[in-house]
């Protein structure tokens, strides 16, 4: 019986095909992986540049002594802006960061860009602001001299329905022509985030003016405010609000030290200032926004003394407290 020979060629051909398939598949996988990584990197670069551009767009909102400024920023696609606040970094002023992303396919968002630092602004907002249009307005903040401008950010996805708001608040915001804020009366219906100044209905946010705090039921927290910080308290997440309040107090302390040095200068000119000891007594960090109330009372006293000083002996000039 004749033995059948072992045909090497019969096995070699399939092996070569198998090797080609494996090698080709590996190369294709690496190519797809590299392309995907390149796209993600390109997206991240674009989103990081977009975040940096947004920061520059906030610059024109600096108010000087104006009562406030506002404008809107539109995007081609639905976008997300991510805000964080860190009071312990970049001492003594703290900092915020901003990152950006937009919808790519359907409702899917691209991977957010890198965080860009903001060191000289105080932005009050939710942690994530999402929409195709964002509304930005600013208010100057005095304590009693000007500390900085407060920048408030919201989006067209969040409509705010203001009920029973005081005339001062209504006039202030209506003058800014913000499209996502509606002042509601008995004949006008409004669906959105209910902001109430009286607890006469179910409200998402309640402003207690007599006690200087805002209760945000969506977060289950209350934050305290003085002056124009009422807007930050309404439109912010509690975490960002509290962080920025501490940053503002740190900025106040640094400015107060400059004014304390100025006292020594004006005393050489024959001025006898009574403010120094009181101003020095309010220096130091605060633990939370509740401490603003006691601070505000002390600073009102300082402001009253300053206004009574003769011309040339006032420590600071400008609006101060009314």
pLDDT digits (tens, 9 = 90+) for 130-153: 999 999 999 999 998 999 999 999
Closest CA to 80 of 42, 107, 40: 107
In the prediction, which pLDDT does 9 show? 47
Of residues 33 and 155, the one with the higher pLDDT is: 155
Q: Residue 68 above 80 pLDDT?
A: no
In the prediction, which pLDDT does 57 show? 74
In the prediction, which pLDDT does 138 show? 92
Q: Percentage of residues in the chain with pLDDT exceeding 70? A: 82
- Please, which pLDDT band fits residue 183 given cuts at 50, 70 and 90? very high
Q: What is the mean pLDDT of residues 83-91?
A: 91
Distance between CA atoms of residues 227 and 157, nearest Å? 27
How far apart, in Å, are the Cα atoms of 261 and each of 59, 144, 205, 320? 30, 17, 42, 20
In the prediction, which pLDDT does 42 show? 64
Distance between CA atoms of residues 141 and 248, nearest Å? 9
Q: What is the mean pLDDT of residues 187-192?
A: 79
pLDDT digits (tens, 9 = 90+) for 96-112: 999 988 888 777 888 88
In the prediction, which pLDDT does 248 show? 97
| CA angle, residues 111, 136, 182, in degrees to nearest 5 | 115
Distance between CA atoms of residues 113 and 50, nearest Å? 9
In the prediction, which pLDDT does 110 show? 81
- What kind and span of H or E run contains 260? helix 238-268
Beta-carbon count within 10 A of 203 CB: 20
Note whether 250 and 120 are within 8 A (CB): no
Distance between CA atoms of residues 319 and 307, nearest Å? 11
How far apart, in Å, are the Cα atoms of 151 and each of 80, 135, 225, 299? 18, 10, 15, 23
Mean per-residue pLDDT over the chain, rounded = 83
pLDDT digits (tens, 9 = 90+) for 236-259: 999 999 999 999 999 999 999 999
Question: Among all chains, which residue has been given the structure tokens 């109430």?
Answer: 196
Closest CA to 126 of 151, 99, 154, 98: 154
Q: Percentage of residues in the chain with pLDDT exceeding 90? A: 48
In the prediction, which pLDDT does 6 show? 45
E strands, the chain, are 69-86, 95-102, 116-118, 122-124, 128-142, 146-155, 160-163, 181-184, 193-196, 205-208, 213-216, 221-224
pLDDT digits (tens, 9 = 90+) for 18-59: 555 555 555 554 444 444 443 455 667 787 877 777 777 777
pLDDT digits (tens, 9 = 90+) for 253-296: 999 999 999 988 888 888 887 888 889 999 999 999 999 999 99
Tokens at 116, concatenated: 């860009």
Q: What is the mean pLDDT of residues 66-93?
A: 87
| CA angle, residues 154, 158, 164, in degrees to nearest 5 | 95
Name the pTM for this structure. 0.83
| CA angle, residues 80, 85, 87, in degrees to nearest 5 | 175
Note whether 122 and 144 are within 8 A (CB): no
In the prediction, which pLDDT does 114 show? 87
């Amino acid at each position: 019986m004749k033995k059948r020979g072992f045909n090497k060629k019969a096995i070699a051909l399939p092996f070569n095909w198998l090797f080609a398939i494996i090698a080709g598949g590996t190369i294709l996988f690496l190519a797809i992986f590299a392309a995907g990584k390149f796209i993600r990197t390109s997206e991240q670069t674009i989103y990081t540049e977009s975040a940096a551009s947004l920061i520059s767009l906030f610059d024109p909102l600096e108010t000087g002594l104006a009562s406030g400024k506002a404008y809107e920023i539109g995007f081609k696609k639905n976008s997300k802006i991510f805000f964080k606040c860190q009071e312990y970094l970049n001492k003594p002023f703290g900092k915020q960061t901003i990152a950006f992303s937009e919808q790519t396919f359907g409702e899917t968002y691209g991977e957010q860009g890198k965080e860009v630092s903001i060191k000289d602004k105080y932005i009050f907002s939710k942690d994530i602001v999402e929409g195709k249009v964002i509304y930005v307005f600013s208010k100057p903040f005095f304590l009693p001299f000007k500390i900085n401008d407060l920048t408030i950010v919201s989006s067209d996805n969040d409509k705010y329905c203001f009920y029973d708001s005081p005339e001062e608040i209504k006039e202030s915001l209506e003058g800014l022509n913000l499209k996502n804020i509606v002042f509601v009366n008995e004949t006008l219906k409004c669906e959105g985030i209910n902001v109430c100044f009286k607890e006469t209905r179910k409200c998402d946010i309640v402003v207690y003016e007599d006690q200087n705090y805002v209760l945000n039921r969506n977060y289950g927290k209350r934050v305290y405010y003085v002056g124009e910080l009422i807007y930050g308290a309404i439109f912010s997440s509690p975490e960002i609000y509290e962080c920025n309040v501490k940053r503002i107090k740190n900025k106040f302390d640094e400015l107060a030290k400059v004014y304390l040095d100025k006292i020594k200068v004006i005393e050489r000119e024959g001025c006898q200032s009574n403010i120094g000891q009181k101003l020095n007594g309010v220096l130091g960090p605060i633990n939370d926004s509740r401490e603003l109330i006691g601070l505000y009372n002390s600073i009102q006293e300082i402001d009253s003394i300053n206004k009574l000083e003769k011309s040339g002996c006032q420590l600071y000039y400008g609006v101060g407290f009314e």
